[in-house]
């Protein structure tokens, strides 16, 4: 098996111009990196993969001086460049990393090659190492498949094609050494402060003719935390840029023509109407007729069936589950072997019981899941996300919000006491029913560490479920969310504010309007508002996005069941906190440690 170590390199950087040629200890930093990767024993050839642009001629010259090969290919399509290089050099396997990782470790590159020989995985990663240390192992044929499914020439960040689709096997290399297991440490060359960081490490450890080891680097940084501080603040900016770039564009591969619906209450019927507006008219519904809606509007054109065998015989491409919360998992499990996509109304379930097993079966069946948390599709929340993606407000620190509406006003034609949101046996209660805000907190500030919950009773609305919920969430990022939910407010109220290092952004979904103020500004200003906004537009966008993901086979995304399981874990921990009277840890069920948690949700939305 011939293995190549392919290093993607360009000289186009604007944040740190010509960074790969910057001098450290008398040599270009890229030359030091080549010294390191040449130590890999399982690699047959080292290749600098650059573009055909004239600005990159000096990289070809450097490769010649350092005794390594050079391949010149597509400037923007990195996947094509890497695949073409593998063909040119007759490679059976690729180890790859970008040239802005001077401390890429040869021993772990060898481990990846060895692991491939036993696993045959399409992509092998070691993401628990410090960023800038790990490499990727890829089968050339897998890159060839990516070229067939991607819908963009810009593939600088290509990992999502492997992790987010239903086509590839991905293996994460376990990192046993606790000194090496530091995924939050970033050692990449992107900003002037990063160059200062590398200069400090080389000044302490470099000796001519010797390559200092990963152990030496990490021990030095442990002994000298001031060096880590040199570029620590660049990590937020880097992560934000990485999050945007990590979104991948895919071609449609699976047509969605027939959709099944289980649960034809108000939200189920909304989805049916919107499906028809989006051109999907082949609809079939499983009816129990136990809810408020007994007869469907004939204009919906829905085929109604009374049992599962009749429903599955129709061979739906996708399904919408909008029945009571406590029945979600049971219905979803029955659909898994038969559909490509599942839209499950929020929340994912009424408790964490059985959720982890369900997620494992979802992964095994490679089904696209989508949980109906609708707030990211609201135009006001999109406006907030767009503002946060700029660098004007700085790091996100706090999220405070409240949502409430007098429960009898929700569906005046129904007896609210019999509705799922007011019944414990059906998974009701305000914390679960209005957990949109909990999911939004995760999208804004990232995964949760712990939560404090308070659920005071109310004489205004004596029900067997919680009618008031107050949650304080501590996030792994260091941020804090404060969430108030209730069934009591008249008129309805739904507002929030994100506080950042250099200002704040507030939204009101009832108006709707977004107001912001940055440090140094004399007064707040209206950043976005839209008179006459149709709230159904958000449901249309949500459904359009779900259908697109199913057609693409996009099994991992910002709205999938794994992400929704985290909000369910927060609510569960909040109830545990109310019982114990103390802060409770949030279970990591559904949490993907390598998911890009600060990804711009707007990048995952369908075009409006």
Instruction: State the DSSP string of 350-373.
Output: SSSTTHHHHHHHHHHHT-EEEE--
Note the pLDDT tens digit of each residue in 30-80. 999 999 999 999 999 999 999 999 999 999 999 999 999 999 999 999 999
Q: Are strands 480-486 and 503-508 parallel, antiparallel or unpaired?
A: unpaired
Which residue carries 């591969």 as its tokens?
253
CB 256 within 8 A of CB 317: yes
Note the pLDDT of residue 598: 38
What is the homologous superfamily of the domain 375-604 according to CATH? Dihydrodipicolinate Reductase; domain 2 (3.30.360.10)
For every residue of 568-595, DSSP letters joined together read HHHHHHHHHHHHHTS-EEPP-TT--TTS
Q: Number of C-alpha atoms within 13 angstroms, CB side, residue 583?
A: 9
Residues 423-447: tens digit of each pLDDT: 999 999 999 999 999 999 999 999 9
Strand pairing category for 513-518 and 503-508: antiparallel
Give me the residue label for tokens 């399509």: 77
Q: Comparing C-alpha atoms, which of 179, 173, 177 is closest to residue 216?
A: 179
- Say if residue 607's pLDDT is above 50: no
Give CA–CA dist 150/341, Å, rounded. Answer: 20
* pLDDT reported for residue 238: 80
Top-level CATH class of 3-245? alpha beta
Q: Are 188 and 227 in contact (CB under 8 A)?
A: no
CB 102 within 8 A of CB 189: yes
Q: Please, which pLDDT band fits residue 289 given cuts at 50, 70 and 90?
A: confident
Per-residue pLDDT, averaged over 325-350, amounts to: 98
Give the C-alpha separation, 204 to 215, whole Å.
14
Report residue 14 as tokens: 């604007």
pLDDT of 591 reads: 66
Burial of 500 (0-12, 13-18, 19+ CB in 10 A): buried
CB 51 within 8 A of CB 10: yes
Distances (CA, A) of 11 to 15, 133, 152, 239: 11, 21, 22, 21
Superfamily classification of domain 258-362: NAD(P)-binding Rossmann-like Domain (3.40.50.720)
User: Which residues are bridge partners to 318 per DSSP?
Assistant: 259, 341
* β 23-24/27-28 pair status: antiparallel
Lowest mean pLDDT among 44-53, 141-150, 242-251, 428-437: 242-251
Per-residue model confidence as pLDDT tens digits over 340-394? 999 999 999 999 999 999 999 999 999 999 999 999 999 999 999 999 988 899 9
Residue 147 has pLDDT above 60, yes or no: yes
pLDDT confidence band for 606 (50 / 70 / 90): very low
Report long-range pairs for 492-496 (Cβ below 8 Å, ≥24 apart).
492/404, 492/405, 492/406, 492/409, 493/402, 493/403, 493/404, 493/405, 494/401, 494/402, 494/403, 494/404, 495/401, 495/402, 496/399, 496/400, 496/401, 496/402, 496/437, 496/440
Quickly list H helices, 366-504.
379-389, 430-433, 436-445
Boundaries of every domain in the chain: 3-245, 258-362, 375-604
Distance of CA 9 to CAs 14, 18, 200, 351, Å?
Answer: 14, 11, 23, 48
Which residue carries 């209730």 as its tokens?
486
Phi first, then psi, for residue 368 (nearest 5°) are: -75, 120
Helix (H, G, I), strand (E, B) or coil at 491: coil
pLDDT tens for 475-506 read 999 999 999 999 999 999 999 999 999 999 99
Torsion of Cα atoms, 502 then 474 then 177 then 589, to 10°: -130
Whether 448 and 570 have beta carbons less than 8 Å apart is answered as: yes
Beta-sheet strands, E only, within 405-467: 448-454
- CB contact burial 534-564 (16+ within 10 A = b; e otherwise): eeeebbbbbbbbbbbbbbbbbbbbbbbbbbb
pLDDT, tens digit (0-9, with 9 covering 90-100), for 12-32: 988 899 999 999 999 999 999
Condensed to tens digits (0 to 9), the pLDDT of residues 530-567 reads 988 999 999 999 999 999 999 999 999 999 999 999 99
The DSSP secondary structure of 63-82, one letter per residue, reads HHHHT-EEEEE-SS-HHHHH
Nearest to 498 by CA among 591, 371, 390: 390
Report which of 324, 305, 326 is spatially closest to residue 316, judged by C-alpha positions.
Answer: 305
| pLDDT tens per residue across span 160-182 | 999 999 999 999 999 999 999 99
């Amino acid at each position: 098996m011939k293995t190549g170590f392919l290093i993607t390199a360009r000289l186009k950087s604007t944040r740190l111009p010509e960074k790969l040629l910057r001098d450290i200890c008398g040599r270009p930093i890229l030359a030091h990196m080549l010294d390191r990767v040449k130590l890999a024993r399982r690699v047959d050839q080292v290749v600098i993969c650059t573009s055909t642009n004239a600005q990159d001629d000096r990289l070809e010259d450097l490769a010649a001086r350092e005794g390594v090969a050079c391949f010149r290919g597509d400037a923007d399509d990195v996947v094509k460049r890497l695949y073409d290089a593998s063909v040119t050099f007759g490679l059976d396997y690729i180890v790859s990393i970008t040239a802005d990782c001077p401390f890429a470790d040869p021993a772990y590159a060898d481990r990846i090659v060895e692991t491939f020989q036993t696993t045959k995985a399409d992509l092998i990663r070691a993401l628990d190492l410090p960023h800038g240390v790990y490499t990727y192992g890829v089968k050339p044929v897998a890159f060839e498949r990516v070229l067939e499914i991607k819908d963009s020439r810009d593939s600088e960040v290509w990992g999502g094609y492997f992790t987010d689709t239903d086509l590839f096997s991905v293996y994460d290399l376990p990192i046993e050494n606790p000194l090496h297991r530091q995924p939050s440490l970033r050692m990449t060359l992107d900003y002037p402060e990063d160059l200062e960081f590398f200069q400090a490490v080389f000044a302490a450890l470099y000796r001519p003719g010797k390559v200092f080891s990963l152990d030496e680097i990490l021990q030095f940084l442990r002994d000298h935390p001031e060096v880590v501080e040199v570029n620590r603040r660049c990590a937020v900016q880097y992560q934000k840029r990485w999050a945007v770039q990590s979104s991948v564009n895919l071609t449609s591969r699976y047509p969605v023509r027939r959709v099944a619906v289980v649960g034809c209450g108000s939200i189920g019927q909304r989805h049916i109407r919107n499906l028809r507006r989006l051109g999907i008219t082949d609809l079939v519904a499983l009816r129990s007729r136990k809810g408020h809606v007994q007869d469907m509007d004939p204009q919906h054109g829905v085929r109604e069936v009374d049992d599962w065998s009749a429903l599955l015989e129709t061979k739906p491409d996708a399904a919408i589950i909008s029945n009571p919360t406590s029945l979600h998992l049971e219905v979803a499990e029955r659909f898994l072997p038969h559909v490509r996509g599942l839209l499950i109304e929020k929340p994912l379930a009424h408790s964490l019981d059985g959720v982890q097993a369900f997620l494992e079966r979802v992964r095994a069946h490679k089904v696209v899941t989508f949980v109906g948390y609708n707030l990211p599709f609201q135009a006001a929340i999109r406006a907030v996300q767009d503002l946060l993606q700029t660098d004007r407000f700085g790091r996100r620190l706090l999220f405070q919000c409240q949502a409430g509406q007098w429960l009898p006003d929700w569906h005046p034609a129904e007896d609210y006491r019999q509705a799922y949101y007011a019944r414990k046996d059906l998974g009701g209660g305000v914390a679960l029913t209005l957990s949109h805000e909990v999911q939004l907190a995760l999208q804004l500030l990232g995964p949760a560490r712990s939560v404090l919950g308070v659920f005071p009773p109310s004489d205004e609305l004596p029900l067997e479920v919680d009618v008031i919920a107050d949650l304080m969430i501590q996030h792994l990022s260091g941020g804090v969310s404060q969430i108030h939910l209730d069934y009591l407010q008249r008129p309805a109220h739904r507002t929030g504010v994100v506080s950042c290092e250099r200002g704040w952004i507030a939204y009101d979904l009832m108006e709707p309007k977004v107001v912001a103020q940055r440090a140094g500004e004399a007064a707040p200003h209206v950043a976005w508002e839209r008179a006459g906004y149709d709230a159904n537009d958000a449901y249309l966008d949500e459904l359009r996005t779900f259908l697109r993901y199913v057609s693409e086979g996009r099994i991992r995304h910002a709205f999938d069941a794994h992400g929704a399981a985290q909000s369910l874990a927060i609510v569960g921990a909040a109830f545990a906190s109310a019982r114990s009277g103390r802060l409770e840890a949030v279970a990591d069920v559904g949490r993907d440690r390598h998911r890009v948690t600060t990804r711009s949700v707007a990048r995952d939305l369908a075009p409006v």
